[in-house]
Structures are given as C-alpha cells and as structure tokens.
C-alpha cells in the first residue's frame, strides 16, 4: 500500500457511559475516527485479530484498580495483532505482523516501541492473543513463579475452559501435578476439560454447590488453587486446602458485574493450613517471557498443549464477542477476526 492510498479514516469502539452491573450495548458506540500518518518512531497497523478479555470490564468502571480505567467518550483498547501498512520506525517494515495494545478498532497508529513482532510461520496470528499471548503468559507466571507447582500436587482451576484456565490446567500437569481438577459452566465444557485438555476430573459449577463437588473430586484436599472466578469458588477452595497450600488470584470474573461483593467467610482456614493467597501483575514478571515462549511454544508446537478459540467475525461484532465472553459462552480464547 503506497502512502497515497493509506487510510485516512477508520472505526473504533468508544465507551459512551460507565456500565453499572452487566454492560449493555447502550453504553458503547462504534464511531468513525481520523487516521493520521505515522510520525517519527511510529507505525500504522491494519488490525487482523482483536482480543476481548474479562479484565476489560474492570476498566469500564472508575474504581481503583491495577490499571487505568477507560475514559468515557474515548476509544477502548486492548491486545491486537495486525499487519504494518506504513512504517516511520527503524526495524519495522511494511508487511510485518505485530502484536500491540490498540485493539477495538480497525486501524492503529502507535509507537513502534510498544509493538512486538510476531511470526505467523511459527503459530497462527490469533495464537499470539491466546496461548502465546497474555492468557498463556498469565497462566505460566501464576503457576511457575507463584504457585510453584511441585511433583505430586493436586491443583484446582476455576473457569477452566476459558482462555487462561484452559492453559493453567495443562501447564500444571506438564509441570508435574499429579491431579488436576477444573470447574466450568456447562456439561460440554466439562467433557472438553477431561477429554481434550487432560484434566483428571471436572465438574459443572451450575449443577450444585462448588464445595460439595470439589470435595468429591478432591477428597484429600488441594495443594494449589488457580482462581479465575472468585466468589463461591474461592470460598470452596479455601475450605479444601491442604497444609501449606497456595492460592493464586488470576481473576474474579464472577464479581466484575456485581456491585455488592461478599468475601469468603472461611479465611481463618488459611491460618489453620498455613496457606498463602498470592497475587501478581504479569507486567511486573516479564523476565519470564523468554522462558514462556520457549517452553509453552514448544508444548503447543508438539501437541502436548491443546488450545481452542471462539471466533467472532467483523469489527461490528466486537461488542457482541465481549458480552458473550463475559457470559461464559466462549471455549478457550475469544477473538475477533477483522
């Protein structure tokens, strides 16, 4: 694409109002925006895949959090992969594929220093938003550095069929866990966990109290809980801890739309079992990224680690993809293909 034919306008999703409870389409708008030519050190990217993730719901509120909230009236953003249309930055050429943070739009002008080249010959482009992207990295960091999975551990993963959870259970098993248990929100997902992802046991949390189903799956208790859900799952896991167990907080999707969050009632069991609750931010642990790419990339390439995607097509359907993901309708990573 020559400079004369570069796009001068595009479209981007904007936050129109802050959702209270579950988001609705009334709080978002897809608007036309101007596209400037890339300045010094910048590149222009045509996005090909966009990511929608649970953490984005938190950014739609103005509560204090680990990341700045979205601004009302401004474009949303998030992980994306696309092709460079124009470059004013050394080391980036037209045709390169890059991963960056200006999703929720069709074109993005960004500082090249914030982009990372990706190779579609090594993995499909969408994989860099999932198994080789933030979800996979989150699972890897949480289990490797914080849970420190040991040979023989019993590991419980909540939201185990989602983008992060589906990676977490498999990574734990590959790291030596003796028994991996997952929860999911449908019988089909439970079947997937056992038959495709190699979980030793799984249950549908909608079929009964989590604590009761977890006790059946792990009668001797758990050594590690990798939590993507919070709420009832967290309380059930605290009640099932072995001595010196580790709880890793990855997410709390059950509470992102709840204005009245109630904490677990059994925290004293942490003292009884001398267990730990551990929290982390992936961007503070990026020294592990080379190990992650080498190890998880190798597992994925050889088929030792399975991954799935749920794909929505078209920028117009990005909001629908986000809302479907929040309802748990995705299997594996939810992505939007432009």
Cα atoms in the 13 Å half-sphere on the side-chain side of 150: 8
Three-class SS of residue 274? coil
- How far is the C-alpha of 94 from the C-alpha of 84, rounded, in Å? 5
3-state helix, strand, coil in the chain (%, to 5): 35, 25, 40
Q: What structural domains does the chain harbor?
A: 3-130+308-337 (3.90.180.10), 134-283 (3.40.50.720)
* Amino acid 1: pLDDT: 40
The first and second tokens of residue 13, run together, are 């999703």
Q: What is the CA radius of gyration of the chain?
A: 21
Low-confidence ranges of the chain (pLDDT < 50): 1-3
> For the residues of 93-127, what is the DSSP string, one character each?
-TT-EEEESB-SBSEEEEEGGG-EE--TTTS-GGG
DSSP state of 75: B
Segment 9-29, tens digit of pLDDT: 999 999 999 999 899 999 999
- How far is the C-alpha of 139 from the C-alpha of 151, rounded, in Å? 18
* Amino acid 2: pLDDT: 41
> For the residues of 215-267, what is the DSSP string, one character each?
HHH-TT-EEEEEESS-THHHHHHHTTEEEEEEEEE---GGGTT-SS----S-T
* Amino acid 253: pLDDT: 72
* Amino acid 67: pLDDT: 81
The first and second tokens of residue 237, run together, are 């896991």
> pTM of the predicted model, to two decimals?
0.83
Q: Which residues have CB under 8 Å from 226's CB, separation 6+?
A: 139, 142, 143, 147, 155, 156, 157, 158, 165, 168, 169, 172, 248, 250
Cα atoms in the 13 Å half-sphere on the side-chain side of 25: 8
């Amino acid at each position: 694409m020559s400079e004369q034919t570069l796009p001068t306008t595009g479209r981007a999703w904007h936050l129109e109002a802050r959702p209270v409870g579950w988001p609705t389409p009334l709080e978002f708008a897809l608007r036309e925006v101007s596209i400037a030519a890339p300045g010094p050190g910048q590149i222009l990217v045509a996005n090909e895949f966009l990511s929608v993730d649970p953490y984005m719901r938190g950014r739609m509120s103005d509560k204090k959090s680990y990341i700045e909230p979205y601004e009302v009236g401004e474009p949303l953003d998030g992980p994306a992969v696309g092709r460079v249309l124009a470059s004013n930055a050394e080391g980036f050429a037209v045709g390169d594929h890059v991963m960056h943070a200006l999703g929720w739009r069709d074109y993005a002008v960004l500082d090249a220093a914030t982009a990372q080249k990706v190779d579609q010959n090594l993995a499909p482009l969408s994989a860099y938003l999932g198994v080789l992207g933030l979800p996979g990295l989150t699972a890897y960091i949480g289990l490797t550095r914080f849970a420190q999975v040991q040979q023989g551990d019993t590991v419980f993963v909540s939201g185990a069929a989602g983008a992060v959870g589906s990676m977490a259970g498999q990574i734990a098993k590959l790291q030596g866990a003796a028994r991996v248990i997952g929860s999911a929100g449908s019988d089909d997902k439970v079947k997937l966990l056992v038959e495709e992802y190699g979980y030793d046991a799984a249950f549908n949390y909608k079929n009964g109290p989590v604590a009761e189903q977890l006790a059946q799956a792990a009668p001797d208790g758990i050594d590690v809980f990798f939590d993507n859900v919070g709420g009832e799952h967290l309380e059930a896991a605290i009640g099932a801890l072995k001595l010196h167990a580790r709880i890793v907080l990855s997410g709390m999707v059950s509470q992102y739309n709840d204005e009245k969050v109630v904490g677990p009632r059994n925290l004293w069991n942490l003292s009884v079992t001398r267990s730990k609750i551990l929290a982390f931010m992936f961007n503070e642990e990026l020294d592990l990224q080379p190990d992650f790419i080498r190890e998880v990339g190798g597992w994925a390439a050889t088929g030792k680690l399975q991954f799935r995607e749920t794909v929505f097509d078209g920028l117009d359907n990005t909001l629908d993809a986000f809302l479907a993901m929040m309802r748990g309708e995705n299997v594996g990573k939810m992505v939007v293909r432009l």
